[in-house]
C-alpha cells in the first residue's frame, strides 16, 4: 500500500499513546482497530458465612488486561515481518508506562505489553490483523494533575493521596492543614518558619520542603503525613497562608 493511500485511512477513536508516543504517528503502517477490557473491573470479595447470608471481610481490585487488535498495511511478507518486529520492540517495557486513549484524553492508566501474537494466516491482500495485550497491574485510572486553592472538594470515588500540597505562609506561626471530613491533619509547630516561606508536603517523595530544603523532621509527630488520604466529598482547609493542592482523581 502506498503512503498516500495509507494516509487516507482514518485513525479510530480507540487509538492511544503508549509511553508518550501515539502508535499511528510512530508507525505509518499501523492502525489500532479495537481495544477490549478498557471498562473491565474485577472486584474480588472475601466473605465469612453467618447465620443469614455472609459478611464481606475484604475487598480487592484485580489487575486488568487490555486486548488490542490492530492492522498493519504492507507490500510484501518480508515487510510485514519487519514491521511486526519494530512494533514489538517498541512495546516491550520493563516498567509500566502511561497509556492515554484519543477518545478520553484526560484519563491516564498504566501498563506494559504482556503478550504479542503473530499469525501469518491473518494476512490478506496487503493487510495483516494482529493482537497484543497490555497488562495493567494497577487497574485504576487517573486524571491529569489538578490544582485547587484553600478549599478542595475531591470528586474521586477511590481513596487517593494528593501528589503534594504547597503553602505560601502569611504569618510566622504554626501551620495546620485539616481534612474537615475525616479529621486527618498535617501540622508544624515550634519550628523556624516565617511569613513568605513556601512549604511543600510532597507525598510522592515522603518529604516536607521549606523553600526547597528538606526539613521533614519539623512535621509534628501527631500529624497524619504518612496516611493522608482523600475521599469523595472531602474538604481541606489551611489556617495559615495560601494553599495549593495538587491531586489526581482516581477512577475504576
With a pLDDT cut of 90, the percent of the chain lying above it is 61
Chain segment 68-80, per-residue pLDDT in tens:
999 998 887 778 8
60 Cβ partners below 8 Å, 6+ apart? Answer: 43, 44
Domains parsed from the chain with CATH numbers? 16-139 (2.40.30.200), 145-251 (2.60.120.860)
3-state SS, residue 64:
strand
Residue identified by cell 478520553 is: 104
Chain segment 135-165, per-residue pLDDT in tens:
999 999 998 888 877 666 667 778 888 999 9
Contact 140, 109 (CB under 8 A): yes
| Among candidate residues 206, 107, 195, 212, the one with its CA nearest the CA of residue 164 | 206
Phi–psi pair at 164, nearest 5 degrees: -165, 160
Helical ranges in the chain per DSSP H: 3-7, 23-26, 77-91
Chain segment 170-214, per-residue pLDDT in tens:
999 899 999 998 999 999 999 999 999 999 999 999 999 999 999
Q: Which residue has the higher pLDDT, 10 or 166?
A: 166
Angle at 144 between CA 139 and CA 149, to 5 degrees: 125
Tell me what pLDDT residue 152 has: 65
Residue identified by cell 489500532 is: 32
Contact 236, 179 (CB under 8 A): yes
What does DSSP assign to residue 81? H
226: burial class by Cβ within 10 Å (0-12, 13-18, 19+)? exposed
Amino acid at each position: 500500500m502506498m503512503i498516500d493511500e495509507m494516509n487516507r485511512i482514518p485513525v479510530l477513536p480507540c487509538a492511544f499513546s503508549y509511553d508518550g508516543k501515539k502508535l499511528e504517528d510512530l508507525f505509518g503502517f499501523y492502525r489500532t482497530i479495537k481495544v477490549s477490557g478498557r471498562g473491565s473491573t474485577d472486584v474480588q470479595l472475601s466473605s465469612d458465612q453467618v447465620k443469614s447470608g455472609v459478611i464481606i471481610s475484604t475487598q480487592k481490585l484485580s489487575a486488568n488486561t487490555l486486548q488490542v487488535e490492530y492492522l498493519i498495511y504492507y507490500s510484501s511478507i518480508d515487510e510485514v515481518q519487519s514491521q511486526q518486529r519494530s512494533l514489538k520492540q517498541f512495546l516491550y517495557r520493563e516498567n509500566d508506562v502511561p497509556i492515554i486513549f484519543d477518545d478520553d484524553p484526560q484519563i491516564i492508566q498504566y501498563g506494559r505489553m504482556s503478550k504479542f501474537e503473530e499469525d501469518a494466516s491473518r494476512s490478506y491482500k496487503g493487510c495483516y490483523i494482529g493482537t497484543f495485550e497490555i497488562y495493567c497491574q494497577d487497574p485504576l485510572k487517573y486524571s491529569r494533575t489538578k490544582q485547587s486553592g484553600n478549599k478542595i472538594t475531591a470528586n474521586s470515588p477511590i481513596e487517593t493521596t494528593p501528589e503534594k500540597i504547597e503553602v505560601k505562609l502569611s504569618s510566622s506561626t504554626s501551620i495546620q492543614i485539616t481534612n474537615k471530613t475525616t479529621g486527618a491533619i498535617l501540622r508544624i509547630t515550634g519550628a523556624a518558619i516565617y511569613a513568605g516561606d513556601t512549604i511543600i508536603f510532597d507525598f510522592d517523595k515522603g518529604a516536607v520542603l521549606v523553600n526547597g530544603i528538606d526539613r521533614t523532621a519539623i512535621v509534628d509527630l501527631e500529624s497524619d503525613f504518612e496516611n493522608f488520604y482523600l475521599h469523595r466529598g472531602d474538604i481541606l482547609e489551611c489556617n495559615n497562608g495560601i494553599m495549593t493542592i495538587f491531586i489526581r482523581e482516581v477512577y475504576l
